[in-house]
Amino acid sequence: MAGLEELRNVLHVIRAWLYPNYLEHGGKFIARAKTEKTLSVEQVCAEAVTRGGSDLNYDTMVDAVNAYFDEAFYQLADGFSVENDYFSIHPKIGGTFDHAGAKADKEKNPVNFAFRKRQELRDVISRITVEIEGAAESGAYIAEVLDVASGATDERLTSGGVVTILGSRIKIDGVDPSCGLYLVQADGTSIKAAGNLVDNQRNRISAQLPVLSPGPYWVRIITQFSGGGSPLKDPRQIDYGVELTV
């Protein structure tokens, strides 16, 4: 398998920016990968064909990958674990039960999936070099998004659940009606989380989400918070480039 053999022998580089550590005082920084975009199945297959990482033609490869994932997640939904050379996925059930005869509750006992690295992925990781490109431009940014119901970070959102967002200068403030927390769909449609903010601080926001249809979403904050004494004249838009799934 040419693609697997190539990954075993190639050195890889991940470029990253340094951001102030909002959880710790003392001038320390954390690194975040400099990721330009999330690649779809179609884009990965196109890259594999162009680069020579696959002997399959583009259409065949896309159909095969989609068919594999459709079947894999069908089996996962029936309680099976699925593994390949790089990772394994296992169903897990969250929450607790009051007694041995208790029934599972979708809200209290959400179904999730655990991702575990296997040896081939560990080998790839061992050949990755991180190149720090310096401190990121100072300003407002979102560092991570926690889905409180599932406990997942930068992974999923629970429709109608509570989300906690960490970052810098993200406090929602200002008189402009556009200010608020938004969930952006794949087609660009923005849904405003109009409910009360549970927490609204400079580096931390917690809010209850509206009812959301299944699918991918991106988090957006619009605010006039400046971090100083006077609010910004015009609202600032802060986008988080990590795809989250309901």
More confident residue, 26 or 183: 183
d(CA 117, CA 120): 8
SS3 150: coil
pLDDT value of residue 119: 93
pTM: 0.59
**Quick one: which of 157, 146, 147 has its CA closest to 183?**
157
**Class of CATH domain 2-133:** few secondary structures
CATH 4.10.520.10 residue ranges of the chain are: 2-133
Other C-beta atoms within 10 Å of 28: how many? 10
pLDDT over 70 at 138, yes or no: no
pLDDT value of residue 142: 87
Question: pLDDT digits over 208-237, tens only?
Answer: 998 898 889 999 999 999 877 788 888 999
More confident residue, 182 or 38: 182
**Quick one: which of 89, 60, 55 has its CA closest to 72?**
89
pLDDT over 70 at 37, yes or no: no
Lowest average pLDDT, out of 114-128, 129-143, 194-208, 229-243, goes to 129-143
What number is the average pLDDT over the span 54-65? 93
**Structural contact between residues 81 and 91, judged by C-beta atoms closer than 8 angstroms:** yes
pLDDT over 90 at 89, yes or no: yes
Q: Determine phi and psi for 39, rounding to 5 degrees.
A: -90, 135
**Quick one: which of 101, 236, 246, 98 has its CA closest to 169?**
236
**Structural contact between residues 8 and 123, judged by C-beta atoms closer than 8 angstroms:** yes
pLDDT over 50 at 145, yes or no: yes
Retrieve residue 95's tokens: 């929450």
163, with CB counted inside 10 A (0-12, 13-18, 19+), is: buried
- Average pLDDT over the chain, rounded to an integer: 87
Does domain 141-245 correspond to CATH entry 3.40.50.720?
no
Beta bridge partners of 136: none
d(CA 83, CA 71): 13
SS3 94: coil
CATH 2.70.50.70 residue ranges of the chain are: 141-245
pLDDT value of residue 1: 47
